[in-house]
Each structure stands twice: as C-alpha cells, then as structure tokens.
Structure 1
C-alpha cells in the first residue's frame, strides 16, 4: 500500500500544483514560488513535505536549489490504485453498454407538406 505520508503530501492543493509543475521539468525554488503565487517560506514548507514523502528530490546548483519529481512514489501509488481503476473501468464499460442498449436513435425530422 502507498505510504500515508504520500497521501498526506498529495492531499494539499498547493503541493499538487507543485507536483504538476515539476512534472514538466525540474525547477528552482524561485520559479516554483512565482508559478504558485505563494510566499517563499510557504513554498519551502510545501517542498519539505514533498521531499519527506519522497515525491521530490533536490540538488544544489550554485546558489540555488533545484527540485525535480521522483517518479518512484507515483509509480507505487499507481500500482496500488490499479485494481480500483480496473473496477471502475469495468463498471463504466457496463454503464456505457447499458446506455447504448437503452438509447433511442436520433429523431427523424418531420416535414411539413
């Protein structure tokens, strides 16, 4: 099962926004601050939670810290969700078939003579 800290980290919308940014490419803290519209201290706190959950890695580049997404915890979460995804896909497929069976075709246009 996925680690509880992973769920906690992803529960916050600001942290999910940071993860989405890092999905595009690694970014220095300043870019993350600007893109998220948060203060630097608040962004740093969110990055710390993401780092402790194993979702991001940080490297020093001269005077800046550059954060990158670590795909391993996301893969673990994806693997854990897979049976549920299959359950939902099966249910949605059944619903789609049922709707196809009960749907009425398009109405024929009426003509006025």
Structure 2
C-alpha cells in the first residue's frame, strides 16, 4: 500500500518536498503530514518547502481547509517560504489553505510546474 504522502529532504536545493499520493485529501492526513514535516525539518532547519498536490483530485471540506491553514500559521512551517504545486487540470483543490496562510503573512505561492517552483524558492 502506498502511503498517503512522502516527505523528502532535498539537500541540493536546501528544501523539504512533500508529495501527496492519495486522490482524496483529508484533515487527518494533513495534520499527520504537518507533524512529520516539522520533525523532518528539525535537524535540517531549511527555510523552503514544496507541497506537491498534483495527485490530489478531491479536496477536503472547506472548514477543514480553514482549520489546517490556521494550524500551519501557528507552526514552525509558517516561516518557511512555500511553493504549492497543483494538478494542471484540477487547479488548486485546497485553495482555502493557501488563502488563509497567505492572509496571515506566510510567503506562499501556487505553481503548476516543479522547476518553476524551485526557481522561485531559490530567489
């Protein structure tokens, strides 16, 4: 069974990459992912993050998206420059998370291409 998400440390670009594998997004999966991202970055202490949502087809409920956005604002992830990569045909399945985080001062931007996301993060 494929795990719902995978966290990788990209030492070359000094960033954390989170790739979601599940087609259906969920509150529990995102909360677990936040905990794992914080743990993964504890030693590396990187300031850049890629969240790859290209395999997410169905978003979670809006209230859960809002809650996740609030949770990120109150975590160490809030200070990380964040690129969110979306499915070209599906758009941003969880736009509320991005909006809530951005409205609370998080440096976050949406992308369709991973190379462009990395270039922006390194700028």
* TM-score bin (small chain): under 0.3
Greater strand fraction, Structure 1 or Structure 2: 2
- Larger gyration radius, structure 1 or structure 2: 1
Greater helix fraction, Structure 1 or Structure 2: 1
Normalising by structure 2, report the TM-score.
0.24
Normalising by structure 1, report the TM-score.
0.25
